[in-house]
Amino acid sequence: MTAIAEPDIAPVPQAAPLAVPEHEHEQKPRDILIICYSGDLEKTWAAMILASTSGAMAQPTKVFVTFWGLQTFVRDDVRITGENWMQKMMSFMQRPGISHRKLSKMNFLGMGPWMMRKLAKQYHVASPKELLEMAQALGVEFIPCQMTMDMFGIKREDLIEGMGEPVGAATYLSFVGEGAAPLFI
């Protein structure tokens, strides 16, 4: 993943175009805490761009993966997850894996996502999968939601490598309470 040039993920003009806020911030840089809630292609992309960029800026960054977002972190080669028929059916209806995300609209039998990925390649924007791997390499922690794993019957061996221990909402909220900036995506 080191082959991806940094400008591809976050093209920041050299001359910072924004005025420095008038009041001084005496705080140290805050932890970034992304809730990756949606399984849609475009929101997955947004979450991965923010996670990898934040990682590249050496900000402590955690991504809490919950609800539809957990399906994104199932390995691409796993087709059906779950133990009972309901769980299996849900994974069947929405194919898991970061390479199989769909747009929330304009799908048009797959043409929308196809155009999106083609445009991204043309403009040197890394794919969600590449950004995820980059983020992991940069030390971003991806933490699955225990409750979602239970409800969807997703096991740890279904998930991609390098995920953290599953936790619940209380752990997540304790980070917010301590000062991390939450982004619910």
Asked if 65 and 98 touch (Cβ cutoff 8 Å), the reply is no
Q: Rounded to the nearest whole angstrom, what is the least distance from the CB of residue 24 to its own copies in the complex? A: 9
Distance, in Å, from the CA atom of 47 to the CA atom of 157, rounded to the nearest integer, reads 23
Amino acid at 152: F
In the numeric block, the tokens 């971003």 are attached to: 140
Q: Rounded to the nearest whole angstrom, what is the least distance from the CB of residue 3 to its own copies in the complex? A: 19
Q: Rounded to the nearest whole angstrom, what is the least distance from the CB of residue 16 to its own copies in the complex? A: 7
- Cβ closest to its own copies, residue 79 vs residue 86: 86
Q: Output the 3-class SS for 89-133.
A: HHHHHCCCCHHHCCCCCCCHHHHHHHHHHHHHHHCCCCCHHHHHH
Contacts of 2 (CB under 8 A, 6+ apart): 137
At 76, list the tokens.
């691409």
Q: Rounded to the nearest whole angstrom, what is the least distance from the CB of residue 2 to its own copies in the complex? A: 18
Q: Using CB atoms within 10 A of its CB, is residue 13 exposed (0-12), middle (13-18) or buried (19+)?
A: exposed
- Pairing status of strand 61-65 against strand 141-144: parallel
Q: Rounded to the nearest whole angstrom, what is the least distance from the CB of residue 154 to its own copies in the complex? A: 12
- Cβ closest to its own copies, residue 94 vs residue 99: 94
- Cβ closest to its own copies, residue 8 vs residue 75: 8
- Cβ closest to its own copies, residue 133 vs residue 144: 144
- Cβ closest to its own copies, residue 75 vs residue 88: 88
